[in-house]
Each structure stands twice: as structure tokens, then as C-alpha cells.
Amino acid sequence: MRPTITIVALLTLCAAAVVLTSCRNPGGGCSCRENGYCCDDCEPGEDPDCVGGDGDGDVDGAAAGDADGDADGDADGDSDGDGDGDGDGDSDGDADGDAEDTVDRCADGEDNDLDGDTDCDDLECARFCSCEGDTESSEETCTDGCSNDGDAYVDCDDYDCDCAVVCDGPGCGTTCEDGSEDTEAACSDGCSNDGDVYIDCVDFDCDGTAACGATPCAEGSEDTEAACSDGCSNDGDVYIDCVDFDCDGTEACGATPCTEGSEDTEAACSDGCSNDGDVYIDCVDFDCDGTAACGGSCESGTEDTEAACSDGCSNDGDAYVDCDDSDCECTAACGGTGCGTLCSDTCTWPGDGECDDGGPGSDYSYCTLGTDCTDCGPR
């Protein structure tokens, strides 16, 4: 039996060779290919040499089941074997290649997106081909419509342009100083000096600056009507106008108007004002030390004796102390002749016919007022 099988196999191979040879026709019509294989489905008369076939309904001589003729053994038309069915070699399934949208693809000499235009001839490459430089961090590169650094972000959309003035930055190369955002310099430097997200006049801390439209603030104390109503912190602390305790005594902040004068009476030392214009109010002012309001040793009573009119107190509780009080006009301490009736003859020269007590109509001032009563009369 072995010789018989061998002879039959040899005869079959020879027959196949004859068929293949007869199909090697360059003008093979619909079915003869350059590799010489013939299809089974030729219409009569189209190719007289395309005969025989292998009966599988695809390319003659191809493996059974390879109906697309791409020689990869499947029927998906995917001649590149990557499984996406488009045969373009990039496995993205779009049948048109890769997008032409990066610096590298716009300079590789390839038509990556298969639209017929290569590199800078492709409009998609315009932003890379017309741009100069390799950084995106200057006024020029942040306004040229290009992605100069080759990323996907152009001009102000690129974080690298945050420094540019055109992108609301301080200017590329400008160094911001850290600190408060409440001075003329800090409110006009294009920076957020205090580290929040608000820059210059957008930051409420700049509201009081001339750079942001406010009236320039005068530097000084914060305790006058003007300083307590100008919208400024004149003394440089963080408290403005009536929020500053220094303004508590001002009419602008609801206090009773202050009387200007000395700060040494009961009234002046308890009115919440600095009457003498210094920075010390009421009992904080040493001038008030002698007043009862500030714990002084003043005796309450009338203000019409030599003692009461020279003790630095307002003994009767009004706003007038000693000689400023009209009640003291009669006292010798305040230039008067003495208060009440004074009549004694304790003078060295009583009854000599000459008034020696220094009072009104006296001849001499050798004695104390009221001590030469015989010669001067009651005082």
C-alpha cells in the first residue's frame, strides 16, 4: 500500500503545478494576481487561464478561511494585524493616522494624520511652525498666539504666562515682596504680597490707599475729629477711625464734643477727652492726678477759702479749679481781699490812724488783710 499512496500523492502535486502554471498570466483579468493565484469566482470568458481552484471560495492557493486575501489568515481586512480593522498601522481605529498636533509630529517629515499635508504644510501645525523660542514666559511669547514651549497651552492659558502683565501678572522677572497688602507700594506692584489670591486694588486691604482711589492718609495720631473720620489708620495700626479706641472721645465717633483747655479739673478729667491736646485722656493724664475723679485727695465743699482756692482741686465739683473758679475771687490767693468778715487788731501798728493791712484804701501793706481793723475797718 505505501507505494500506491506515494504515487497518488505525486500525481496530485503535479496536477496542481500545472494549474498554477496556467494561471501565471499578467493580464489575468479579475482573478489572477501578481503572485499567480487564481480565484474560483471568475465569470466565464474573463480569464480563460483562471481555471481549477481549490473550492474554498477565496483566493486560490490561500489558506482555507482567509477570505480577505491579505495573507494573515483571518477575514477581518486588517492587513496590519493590529486588530483595529483599519490597516493604517497605528492601532487607534481612526483609519487616518495620528493627529498632527505636537512639536515632534510637526517636524518629523511624516503626514501623521494622513490628510495630504506634512508638518508645517498642515494647518494644524501652524501654531508650532510660526512660533519662535522655547519658553512661554515673556510679554512677547504670551501674546503671539503660539505655544512657544510646545505644550498644549497658548499664551495666557499657559500657567507660565501668569507673570505677564497682559495676563494680569506683575511682569515676568518682577520679584514680589512678602508682607502686608496695605501700602501704596504693595497696592501697585502687581503682586499679592500677603499671599492671598487678591492682587493690589482687588484686595480689600488696599481700600485706604491712594493707588486704589482713596484720599491719601495723613500720618499721625488717631484722636482728632479729622483723623477719626478720614477712612485711614493714621497711627499705622490696623484700626481705622471709630474702630480705633483712640477715637472714642471724638464727636465723629459719638462722643460729646471735647472742650479745649487744661486737663486738671473734675470735669476735664472725666469727659473722655484730651482737653489739653496731648495723647493722654482724663486720669491717664498726670494733670488729673489731683482730682477726685482720678483718686486725688481733694476735699469736697465750697470753693471760697484760701485753702480750697489753692489746693489744685475743684472742691465744689464744677469744671473750675481754684482761681479759675469765680468763687475764689474774694481770696487773697486769687488777688481778692479775703472772703467773709475779717476784723482784728493783730497788726503791729493797730489804731495808729493809718491802715496798714494792704486792703482797699490802705496806707501801707505792712500787715495781713483784716488785722488792722481799727484803722482799716472790717474786711
Backbone torsions φ then ψ of 59, nearest 5 degrees: -65, 130
What is the C-alpha separation between 349 and 343, in angstroms, rounded?
A: 14
- Cβ proximity of 114 and 89 under 8 Å: no
Return the domain boundaries, the chain. Answer: 16-64, 280-339, 341-379
Instruction: Classify 222 as helix, strand or coil.
Output: coil
- Cβ proximity of 122 and 116 under 8 Å: no
What is the C-alpha separation between 280 and 276, in angstroms, rounded?
A: 9
| Sequential pLDDT tens for the chain (379 residues) | 444 445 444 444 444 444 443 443 444 444 444 344 444 444 444 444 444 444 444 444 444 444 444 444 444 444 444 444 444 444 444 445 678 877 788 878 888 889 888 877 787 776 666 666 678 778 788 887 777 777 778 888 888 887 788 887 777 766 778 888 888 888 888 788 888 878 888 898 888 787 888 777 788 899 888 899 888 888 888 888 999 988 987 888 887 777 888 888 878 888 888 888 888 889 888 888 777 788 777 777 888 888 888 887 778 877 788 898 888 887 888 887 777 677 888 999 899 999 998 888 889 999 988 889 889 887 7
How is residue 185 written as a grid cell? Answer: 507700594
Give the chain's largest Cα–Cα span. 192
18: number of Cβ within 10 Å: 11
207: number of Cβ within 10 Å: 14
What is the C-alpha separation between 56 and 66, in angstroms, rounded?
A: 9
Element (H, E) at 3: helix 2-23
Backbone torsions φ then ψ of 39, nearest 5 degrees: -90, 160
- Say which residue the cell 494549474 belongs to: 19
How is residue 9 written as a grid cell? Answer: 500523492
Distance of CA 1 to the CA centre of its chain: 100
Cross-strand bridge partners of residue 39: 59
199: number of Cβ within 10 Å: 19
- Cβ proximity of 280 and 303 under 8 Å: no
Q: One-letter amino acid identity for 141?
A: T
How big is the chain by its Cα radius of gyration, in Å?
57
How is residue 359 written as a grid cell? Answer: 486792703
Q: Residue 291 has what pLDDT?
A: 78
Half-sphere exposure of 198 (CA within 13 A, CB side): 12
Instruction: Classify 375 as helix, strand or coil.
Output: helix
Half-sphere exposure of 325 (CA within 13 A, CB side): 28
What is the C-alpha separation between 310 and 304, in angstroms, rounded?
A: 10
